[in-house]
Structures are given as C-alpha cells and as structure tokens.
Amino acid sequence: MNSWKLWMLLLQGAGLTVAVSLLSIAIGLAIGAVISAGMLSSKQVFAVPSRLFVSFFRGVPLLVQLLLIYNLLPAIGINVSSVGAAITGLSLCTAAYQAENLRGGLMSVPKGLIEAAEMAGLNATQQFRRIRLPIAFRLTLPAIINEAIMILKASSLVSVVGVVELTRMTQDLSASTYRPLELFAMAGVIYFIINWGLSFIGSYTENAIRWGRP
C-alpha cells in the first residue's frame, strides 16, 4: 500500500473523529448549560440530580462509560449504532465538565448585572438565557475550548465500541502494513492539525465576542 493510500484512509478515520467529536462537543455544551443551571438552582429537585450527574460522569472513567452505554442501551431495548453510542457517551461525559466550567462562570457574573435584569422585568429563565449564560460563556470560553480539545483527543477511546476513527484506523493499518512508526506519526500530525484548528476557532470566537474591547 503506498503512502498516498494510507493518508486517504487515515483522513477517512479523521473525518469520523471530527464528526463524532464536534457533535459531542455541541450536544455536551447544550446539556452542560442546562446542568449548570440545575446545579445553581435553589430547588433541590433540580440541584440534586444535576450534582449527581456531574459526580457520576466525572468520577467514572470514560472508557467504562462508553462500554456501559454501549451494552446498557440495547439491554433496555434501545438499538443504537456504534457511532450513536460513542456520541452519547462523549456528550454526557463532556457535559459534566462543561457544566462545571459554566457554573464557575455563572457564579462570577456580577450581582449588579442580575439586579439590573431583575429591575428590567426579566423572569428567571429570561435572565439565565439572555444575561447570565452569555456572560458566563464569555468568561469561561478558554476553559470551554480546553475541554473541547480534551474531548477530541479522548474520542480515540470510542474505538472500543467499534467506531473506526483515526486511532483505530491507524492501529488497523499498522497491523496490516507493519509500519506503525510511520502511521502513528501521521496520526499525530493529523490530531495536532485538527486541534490547532479548534483552538484557532476558539481564539477567533474569543475576539469576536469580546464585548467590543479594542
């Protein structure tokens, strides 16, 4: 097999890595926002399950979570593809970390800004959606991007549920070509470029939403 062919196959795996990771990052961020609100709620019905969610998904290894979800979903009658199980696992795990990031941001929103929203007549949901969350998001953007990069790298673990993403593709190819050094070096370069792109998107967003600071 020539190098060109190898690159093509690796990029195919990389495509799946990017697709699974980006979807999981987006879904995880949305779930994380809801969980962060729950954690700060004064109502125990919301606070307790949110805290349990975070402790579970932070406390159990991602590898175990993925295998658990992959085996649990069919057992309770939900048929899910390998990719579906992978996205579910990654999303829930990253949601727990993003919830903690956002919770930190939400707690640092100055009280006066919330009082102003209160006086403007915004109810609790409107305050969260329009004032607290957007400000918290801006305050915690570096940590959020950090977590996105972590999850992209952790996506190599989804090979255990049968998703042939970049790492798995590299393993399979090196087994059949006996060229592991070359292949893993190529995979490393691809991971680096993807994450470099992700941090570029991060700093671009950071600049674009800097609330107009020069």
Partner 1 sequence: MSHPAVTIRGLHKSFGAVEVLRGIDLDIPRAQVTCLIGPSGSGKSTLLRCMAFLEETSSGSILIDDAPLGFRTHADGSRTRLPAADIRTARRKIGMVFQQFNLWPHMTALGNVSEALKTVQKLGRREAEDRAMVQLKKVGLAERADHFPSQLSGGQQQRVAIARALALEPEIMLFDEPTSSLDPELTGEVLNVMRALADDGMTMVVVSHEIGFSASVGQKIAFLDQGQLLLTGTPTEVFGKPRHPRLDQFLETYLDRGAAMLL
**Minimum distance from CB of 57 to partner 1 (Å)?**
29
- Residue 208 contacts partner 1 per CB under 8 A: no
Structure letter (DSSP) for residue 162: T
Could you write out the DSSP letters of every residue in 112-157? HHHHHHHHTT--HHHIIIIIIHHHHHHHHHHHHHHHHHHHHHHGGG
Helix, strand and coil content of the chain, in percent to the nearest 5, comes to 85, 0, 15
- Residue 204 contacts partner 1 per CB under 8 A: no
Site residue total, partner 1 (CB under 8 A): 24
**Minimum distance from CB of 119 to partner 1 (Å)?**
4
Longest dimension (CA), the chain: 69
**Closer residue to partner 1, CB minimum distance, 5 or 129:** 129
**Closer residue to partner 1, CB minimum distance, 22 or 122:** 122
Of the residues 43, 79, 121, 176, which one makes contact with partner 1 according to CB under 8 A: 121
- Residue 209 contacts partner 1 per CB under 8 A: yes
- Residue 211 contacts partner 1 per CB under 8 A: yes
- Region binding partner 1 by CB under 8 A among candidate stretches 22-30, 68-76, 195-203, 204-212: 204-212
Structure letter (DSSP) for residue 211: T
Of the residues 45, 75, 76, 119, which one makes contact with partner 1 according to CB under 8 A: 119
Distance CA 85, CA 202 (A): 27
Could you write out the DSSP letters of every residue in 163-209? ---HHHHHHHHHHHHS-HHHHHHHHHHHHHHHHHHHHHHHHHHHHHT
**Minimum distance from CB of 212 to partner 1 (Å)?**
3
Instruction: Give the footprint of partner 1 on residues 56-115 (CB under 8 A).
Output: 110, 112-113, 115
Q: Give yes or no for a contact between 170 and 183, defined as CB atoms under 8 angstroms apart.
A: yes
The first and second tokens of residue 105, run together, are 């941001």
Instruction: Give the footprint of partner 1 on residues 123-162 (CB under 8 A).
Output: 123-124, 126, 130-131, 134-135, 138
**Closer residue to partner 1, CB minimum distance, 141 or 161:** 141
